[in-house]
Amino acid sequence: MELQERNQSSVISSIDNNMKLITKSWQKIKKSHIDWDIVNIKSNLDIFNSELEQFSSNTTDFNKFISENIREIDEKIGSLEYINVLETNLKELNIPFIGNFPEYDIPPYKLNISKENKEVRLFFGRKSEKTNSLNPASISAWVNIRYKKIISRKMDLNALMKELFEAYQMINKLTYREKTPIWGKAVKLTEIYNLLTLKRTTKQEYPKQFYQYELGLLKENLDMSFNNFRFEFGFARDISKAIPIIDNKGKISHVSSLTIYKED
């Protein structure tokens, strides 16, 4: 393998040199042609043709190398080693994630690596960005730029709690069939999300991954209180009915409900 890599490196270096000399001699030929400089036309034409011949030979070798290289890369994608490198890189960049290859939740994003389509997509709701760079280091660096950009935004937790508070009251009254909210009773977080995104356009603008992301930020807030009310998340035994959220250390929690208590 090392010998093959050295041979590839040598061929690539030769092609680079060929291209430089081809370009250089071609520029001289054009100038000599304008000047009717027959001597320089002939001498540079010899170099030009010689380099073209060598270039053709080198590219034939390179095509053999690159075809084999593509096959090897294709075999590596999705392998245990590939996945380990990708996930290690994400952890080292402090990018918290949930899931397994080829799909990861990185709230507020969803990352998908398609071996079939030879592409990587980062989804934010229905919007997505794409790259064809499949190297694990390239993927993690690409994701890191976008993830750091979104977490650098200042989040207004009071505005979030106000929205949750208002949605909680409505669902609480519907759930327990009362005219006024029964404080201290749990309400499903999925129902709160559905209420917050009643309009289809709102759901596109406020994807579930972003809801997860905001809940994660709220959970890390030591003082989960709004006016004279205290917020508390409930955890489901059946995680399939819960919403996974991640803290900034990558710890996963599965929250299913919100309870709001009225404080004295």
What topology is assigned to 2-76 in CATH?
A: Methane Monooxygenase Hydroxylase; Chain G, domain 1 (1.20.58)
Higher pLDDT among residues 182 and 209, named by residue: 182
**pLDDT of res. 246:** 80
53-83 tens-digit pLDDT: 999 999 988 888 888 889 999 999 999 999 9
pLDDT > 90? residue 121: yes
Q: Find all residues with CB under 8 Å of 44, minimum gap 6, and list them.
A: 25, 26, 28, 29, 32
Q: For residues 170 and 195, what is the distance between their CA atoms, to the nearest angstrom?
A: 9
CATH architecture group of domain 80-151: 2-Layer Sandwich (3.30)
Q: Where are the domains of the chain?
A: 2-76, 80-151, 157-262
Q: Which two tokens stand for residue 53?
A: 């011949």
Average pLDDT over the chain reads: 89
Q: How many CA atoms lie within 13 A of 161 on its CB side?
A: 21
Q: For residues 142 and 131, what is the distance between their CA atoms, to the nearest angstrom?
A: 8
